[in-house]
Amino acid sequence: MDLRRALSAAAWGLAFGLLGLVALVPDLPARITALRVTEGRWVDPACSPAERPCALRWPDGLALQVGVEPRLADGGAPAAIPTNTPITVWVEGEAAAGQRGELVWTGHDMSMGRLALPLVEVAPGRLEARGPLPACVRGQMIWRMDVQLEGPGGPRGAHALLPSRAPGG
Protein backbone atom coordinates (compact mmCIF):
# COMPACT_ATOMS: atom_id res chain seq x y z
CA MET A 1 0.00 0.00 0.00
CA ASP A 2 2.84 2.42 0.75
CA LEU A 3 4.26 1.97 -2.76
CA ARG A 4 0.86 2.71 -4.31
CA ARG A 5 0.47 5.81 -2.15
CA ALA A 6 4.00 7.00 -3.03
CA LEU A 7 3.37 6.50 -6.77
CA SER A 8 0.05 8.31 -6.52
CA ALA A 9 1.66 11.24 -4.70
CA ALA A 10 4.45 11.36 -7.31
CA ALA A 11 1.93 11.36 -10.17
CA TRP A 12 -0.09 14.16 -8.56
CA GLY A 13 3.10 16.13 -7.91
CA LEU A 14 4.14 15.75 -11.54
CA ALA A 15 0.68 16.82 -12.77
CA PHE A 16 0.63 19.92 -10.57
CA GLY A 17 4.23 20.71 -11.49
CA LEU A 18 3.37 20.63 -15.20
CA LEU A 19 0.32 22.83 -14.60
CA GLY A 20 2.50 25.29 -12.71
CA LEU A 21 5.03 25.30 -15.54
CA VAL A 22 2.31 26.04 -18.11
CA ALA A 23 0.98 28.84 -15.88
CA LEU A 24 4.43 30.40 -15.48
CA VAL A 25 5.38 30.08 -19.17
CA PRO A 26 2.21 30.92 -21.16
CA ASP A 27 3.87 30.36 -24.56
CA LEU A 28 5.34 26.99 -23.55
CA PRO A 29 3.65 25.05 -26.41
CA ALA A 30 5.14 27.51 -28.94
CA ARG A 31 8.57 27.17 -27.34
CA ILE A 32 8.39 23.37 -27.46
CA THR A 33 7.28 23.47 -31.11
CA ALA A 34 10.15 25.84 -31.89
CA LEU A 35 12.59 23.09 -30.88
CA ARG A 36 11.67 21.11 -34.00
CA VAL A 37 11.17 23.99 -36.45
CA THR A 38 13.04 23.87 -39.75
CA GLU A 39 14.63 27.29 -40.19
CA GLY A 40 14.44 28.95 -43.60
CA ARG A 41 17.12 31.15 -45.12
CA TRP A 42 16.79 34.40 -47.04
CA VAL A 43 18.06 33.90 -50.60
CA ASP A 44 19.65 37.37 -50.41
CA PRO A 45 20.65 37.95 -46.76
CA ALA A 46 20.88 41.72 -47.42
CA CYS A 47 17.24 41.87 -48.60
CA SER A 48 14.78 43.55 -46.22
CA PRO A 49 11.05 42.78 -46.52
CA ALA A 50 10.44 46.35 -45.33
CA GLU A 51 12.07 47.61 -48.55
CA ARG A 52 11.00 45.02 -51.14
CA PRO A 53 9.68 41.44 -51.33
CA CYS A 54 12.35 38.93 -50.32
CA ALA A 55 12.74 35.28 -51.29
CA LEU A 56 12.84 32.71 -48.50
CA ARG A 57 13.94 29.10 -49.03
CA TRP A 58 14.01 26.00 -46.80
CA PRO A 59 16.42 23.04 -47.08
CA ASP A 60 13.75 20.84 -48.71
CA GLY A 61 13.30 23.36 -51.56
CA LEU A 62 10.14 25.12 -50.34
CA ALA A 63 10.37 28.74 -51.52
CA LEU A 64 8.18 31.71 -50.65
CA GLN A 65 8.20 35.50 -50.99
CA VAL A 66 7.76 37.70 -47.91
CA GLY A 67 6.88 41.38 -47.97
CA VAL A 68 5.74 44.20 -45.70
CA GLU A 69 3.29 46.94 -46.67
CA PRO A 70 3.36 49.83 -46.65
CA ARG A 71 7.02 50.16 -47.61
CA LEU A 72 8.20 53.61 -46.69
CA ALA A 73 11.61 55.04 -47.52
CA ASP A 74 12.97 57.69 -45.19
CA GLY A 75 14.95 60.14 -47.33
CA GLY A 76 17.32 57.57 -48.82
CA ALA A 77 17.69 55.65 -45.55
CA PRO A 78 16.50 52.05 -45.34
CA ALA A 79 12.73 51.67 -45.18
CA ALA A 80 11.29 51.87 -41.68
CA ILE A 81 7.98 50.34 -40.69
CA PRO A 82 5.65 52.91 -39.15
CA THR A 83 4.35 52.26 -35.63
CA ASN A 84 0.72 52.73 -34.57
CA THR A 85 -0.22 52.30 -38.24
CA PRO A 86 -1.76 49.07 -39.56
CA ILE A 87 0.80 47.16 -41.59
CA THR A 88 0.44 43.98 -43.57
CA VAL A 89 3.04 41.23 -43.73
CA TRP A 90 2.37 38.78 -46.55
CA VAL A 91 3.79 35.39 -47.44
CA GLU A 92 3.19 34.27 -50.99
CA GLY A 93 4.02 31.36 -53.22
CA GLU A 94 2.53 28.18 -54.59
CA ALA A 95 3.78 26.31 -51.52
CA ALA A 96 1.91 28.69 -49.17
CA ALA A 97 -1.38 27.01 -50.08
CA GLY A 98 -2.48 24.78 -47.22
CA GLN A 99 -0.07 26.34 -44.72
CA ARG A 100 -1.20 27.81 -41.41
CA GLY A 101 0.92 30.35 -39.73
CA GLU A 102 1.64 33.06 -37.26
CA LEU A 103 3.66 36.22 -37.41
CA VAL A 104 5.43 37.15 -34.17
CA TRP A 105 7.00 40.54 -33.42
CA THR A 106 9.47 40.90 -30.55
CA GLY A 107 11.83 43.73 -29.71
CA HIS A 108 15.40 42.98 -30.84
CA ASP A 109 17.19 45.66 -28.85
CA MET A 110 14.74 45.97 -25.96
CA SER A 111 12.14 43.75 -24.31
CA MET A 112 8.74 44.55 -25.83
CA GLY A 113 6.90 41.34 -25.09
CA ARG A 114 5.53 39.14 -27.83
CA LEU A 115 2.97 40.38 -30.38
CA ALA A 116 1.55 37.40 -32.28
CA LEU A 117 -0.75 37.79 -35.28
CA PRO A 118 -2.29 34.91 -37.25
CA LEU A 119 -1.24 34.51 -40.88
CA VAL A 120 -4.57 34.07 -42.68
CA GLU A 121 -4.98 32.69 -46.20
CA VAL A 122 -6.57 35.55 -48.18
CA ALA A 123 -6.13 33.96 -51.62
CA PRO A 124 -4.72 30.67 -52.87
CA GLY A 125 -1.02 30.75 -52.05
CA ARG A 126 -1.14 34.05 -50.13
CA LEU A 127 -1.13 34.43 -46.34
CA GLU A 128 -1.40 37.80 -44.59
CA ALA A 129 -1.11 39.14 -41.05
CA ARG A 130 -2.30 42.67 -40.36
CA GLY A 131 -1.85 44.86 -37.30
CA PRO A 132 0.11 47.81 -35.93
CA LEU A 133 3.43 47.70 -34.13
CA PRO A 134 3.21 49.38 -30.73
CA ALA A 135 4.79 52.81 -30.39
CA CYS A 136 6.39 53.31 -27.00
CA VAL A 137 9.70 54.70 -28.16
CA ARG A 138 10.69 57.88 -29.95
CA GLY A 139 12.67 57.54 -33.12
CA GLN A 140 13.81 54.20 -34.49
CA MET A 141 13.75 50.72 -32.98
CA ILE A 142 14.76 47.29 -34.31
CA TRP A 143 12.11 44.57 -34.29
CA ARG A 144 12.50 40.85 -34.85
CA MET A 145 9.83 39.50 -37.21
CA ASP A 146 9.33 35.73 -36.98
CA VAL A 147 7.34 34.00 -39.71
CA GLN A 148 6.10 30.66 -38.39
CA LEU A 149 4.37 28.19 -40.70
CA GLU A 150 2.75 24.82 -40.08
CA GLY A 151 1.85 22.64 -43.05
CA PRO A 152 2.49 19.31 -44.74
CA GLY A 153 6.28 19.60 -44.32
CA GLY A 154 6.06 20.23 -40.58
CA PRO A 155 6.78 23.44 -38.66
CA ARG A 156 8.93 26.01 -40.45
CA GLY A 157 10.26 29.36 -39.38
CA ALA A 158 12.33 32.31 -40.50
CA HIS A 159 13.11 35.69 -39.03
CA ALA A 160 14.26 39.11 -40.09
CA LEU A 161 15.35 42.21 -38.20
CA LEU A 162 13.42 45.30 -39.30
CA PRO A 163 13.57 48.94 -38.20
CA SER A 164 10.47 50.86 -37.19
CA ARG A 165 9.96 54.52 -36.64
CA ALA A 166 7.62 56.36 -34.32
CA PRO A 167 4.93 58.54 -35.91
CA GLY A 168 6.64 61.68 -37.13
CA GLY A 169 10.02 60.20 -36.09
Write out pLDDT tens, residues 150-168: 887 788 888 888 887 765 5
Q: Same domain for 137 and 115? A: yes
Q: How far is CA 46 from CA 90, 126, 166, in A?
A: 19, 23, 24
Number of structural domains, the chain?
Answer: 2
Q: Same domain for 51 and 17? A: no
Q: How far apart are CA 105 and CA 20, in angstroms?
A: 26
Q: Same domain for 21 and 79? A: no
Q: Same domain for 25 and 44? A: no
Q: What pLDDT band is residue 140 in, cutting at 50, 70 and 90?
A: confident
Q: How far is CA 138 from CA 64, 105, 148, in A?
A: 33, 18, 29
Q: Same domain for 17 and 83? A: no
pTM of the model: 0.69
| Domain carrying residue 26 | 1-35
Q: What pLDDT band is residue 137 in, cutting at 50, 70 and 90?
A: low
Write out pLDDT tens, residues 20-75: 777 776 666 665 655 567 888 889 988 888 888 999 998 888 889 999 887 655 44
